[in-house]
Amino acid sequence: MDAIRVRGNGPLSGRIPVGGAKNAALPILCATLLSDGASLLRNVPGLRDIETTSALLRFLGRDVAVAAPEVRVSAASGPIRPEAPYELVRQMRASVLVLGPLVARHGRAKVSLPGGCAIGARPIDQHIRGLEALGATIRVEHGYVVAEAPRLKGAEIVFDLPTVTGTENLMMAAALAKGRTTLVNCAREPEVEELGRVLNKMGAKVEGAGTDIIVIHGADALDPFDHAIISDRIEAGTFMAAVGAAGGDVLLEHAPIDDLEPVIVKMRQAGVEVERDGEHMRVRRVKPLRAVDVTTAPHPGFPTDMQAQFMAMMCVAEGQSVLTETIFENRFMHVPELCRMGADIDTRGHTAFVTGVKGLSGASVMATDLRASASLVIAGLVAEGDTIVRRVYHLDRGYEHIEKKLAGVGADIARVPLEGMP
Ligand code: EPZ
């Protein structure tokens, strides 16, 4: 079991490569189930969630070769076992993304209910109601969703609220349904748009992915694909927050600047300079940080996946910032840990009042979820003394070599064995 030790070491400078988007790679890996052919995914980050999804595809009956940044899913060689067990699904909720492809391609799917996670209950009622609208019969029994349909039929579906994986699940199911499907009130995240590109490469006809209305004309069969995944806007945003907090001048290579508009606006308001540099993004902070209010919202609002990292930055800004989390019910678990480092944060319900302090002090802290872990690392970059972040397996789910990338721009950070840590 490892930990990450980070020590405040002044401003950052240099270049950081931004990897492929985890939350695009996961649905696209599941989309390989819609075709029997061999598919190739490029620019895939080397993450635990990618390994977990690959293990799930193997369990279902596909051969998967992971050699980051490439993942090859082989042609189907035998029958698919359309069952995703609790043991795998509980490790990663996004496993629910095999539900749509399996019932669309094989007429049956038995997928463990993901259960809640640290940040919230994470129901999948919208996924289930959408599949029923496409003609699937759904039973929920013994903690599993069992979906069956000889052939899905196109339908008109309105989501009660924008759901990223709900939209993605139904796009994939509709891609093999008979006739036309209209999805209304869709999630508009860039990763949803990317899935639409891949489904079109496979021979589906998807219009409007990335907007709130998506029309899918189902195909009778879909082809395999070769696709390079878009860059990860949340990884890039996390490094923006690191520069904002520690100061400095860093070039984020291949950062998806066009997908980061809401984050860039708030960063600039806080005193962080952001500018395009070819296909890269330059991030500088030399002036004192200013407190800025943020309310998370579905894209193109400020991403909930950036809330914890932005909060870490606001801990050392001048003034008070008000951060409101509207997407998940329990996404402030980084707050008590940041307070142990000397941050001044008062939470009332889904709102955190962050009063900037002159400096933070290093402490031994506990990661609780993926983005909370990143916020603790960012806080450690500006804390006096050592910060030991435990349970770094949370970080490894969504960040590839974060300690190496930060050390490469001057941070005093390393992965250390936990044994013997204070
Ligand atoms: C995706 O999760 C992302 N994961 C999350 O990133 C991200 O935080 C989230 O979207 C919001 O942007 C992947 O893409 C793999 P939702 P998802 O369905 O799809 C409610 C990370 O850090 N809801 O958009 O599970 C739900 O409770 C992860 O990389 C229902 O009520 O999120 C939440 O309040 C964390 N019923 C809201 O919708 C449903 O059927 C948005 O959730 C589905 C969702």
CA of 124 to the centre of ligand 1 (A): 9
Looking at the fold, whether 222 and 321 belong to one and the same domain comes out as no
Helix (H) or strand (E) holding 112: strand 108-112
Q: Which of 209, 228, 247 is the last residue of a domain?
A: 228
Residues in the chain: 422
Please check whether residues 132 and 117 belong to one and the same domain: yes
User: Cα–Cα distance between 99 and 127 in angstroms, integer?
Assistant: 9
Distance CA 373, CA 395 (A): 6
Closest CA to 12 of 358, 314, 408: 408
Cβ atoms < 10 Å from Cβ of 183: 26
Q: Where does a domain end: 211, 228, 245?
A: 228
Rounded Cα distance between 334 and 257, Å, is 27
Q: Is the CB of 225 under 6 A from ligand 1?
A: no
Q: Say yes or no: CB of residue 169 within 6 Å of ligand 1.
A: no
pLDDT value at residue 91: 87
Domain end position, chosen among 228, 260, 289: 228
Residues 132 and 11 in one domain: no
Angle ∠(86,91,97) on CA atoms, nearest 5? 75
Given a contact cutoff of 8 angstroms between Cβ atoms, the answer to whether 106 and 130 are in contact is no
Same domain, 257 and 316: yes
Contact 253/16 with Cβ under 8 angstroms?
A: yes
Question: For residue 112, what are the CA distances in angstroms to 80, 97, 136, 140, 162?
Answer: 17, 11, 17, 9, 23
Give a yes or no: residue 422 inside a domain: no
| pLDDT confidence of residue 365 | 96
Residue 345 lies inside a defined structural domain of this protein: yes
Instruction: Tally Cβ neighbours within 10 Å of residue 107.
Output: 15
Is the Cβ atom of 165 under 6 angstroms away from ligand 1? yes
- 124-156 in b/e form (b: 16+ CB < 10 A) is bebbbbbbebbbbebeeeeebbbbbbeebbbbe
Which residues, 6 or more positions from 142, have their beta carbon under 8 angstroms from its beta carbon?
A: none
Quick one: which H or E segment has residue 337? helix 334-340
**End-to-end CA separation in angstroms for the chain:** 14
Per-residue pLDDT of the chain (422 residues; tens, 9 = 90+): 789 999 999 999 999 999 999 999 999 999 999 999 999 999 999 999 999 999 999 999 999 999 989 999 998 888 899 999 999 888 899 999 999 999 999 999 999 988 767 788 778 999 999 999 999 999 999 999 999 999 999 999 999 999 999 999 999 999 999 999 999 999 999 999 999 999 999 999 999 999 999 999 999 999 999 999 999 999 999 999 999 999 999 999 999 999 999 999 999 999 999 999 999 999 999 999 999 999 999 999 999 999 999 999 999 999 999 999 999 999 999 999 999 999 999 999 999 999 999 999 999 999 889 999 999 999 999 999 999 999 989 999 999 999 999 999 999 999 998 876 66
Q: Which atom of ligand 1 is nearest to the CA of 165?
A: 19
CATH of the domain at 298: 3.65.10.10
Catalytic residue of the set 117, 186, 315, 339: 117
Q: How far out from the chain centre does Cα 13 lie?
A: 26
Q: Which residues contact 168 (CB under 8 A, 6 or more apart)?
A: 27, 97, 100, 187, 191, 192, 195
Whether residue 153 is found in the same domain as residue 290:
no
Provide the domain limits for residue 88: 22-228
CB 365 near ligand 1, within 6 Å: no
Same domain, 219 and 266: no
User: What is the radius of gyration, based on Cα positions, of the chain?
Assistant: 21
Quick count: other Cβ atoms within 10 Å of Cβ 58? 13
| Same domain for 247 and 223 | no
Assess whether 117 carries a catalytic annotation.
Answer: yes
**pTM higher than 0.75, yes or no?**
yes
Rounded Cα distance between 133 and 105, Å, is 17
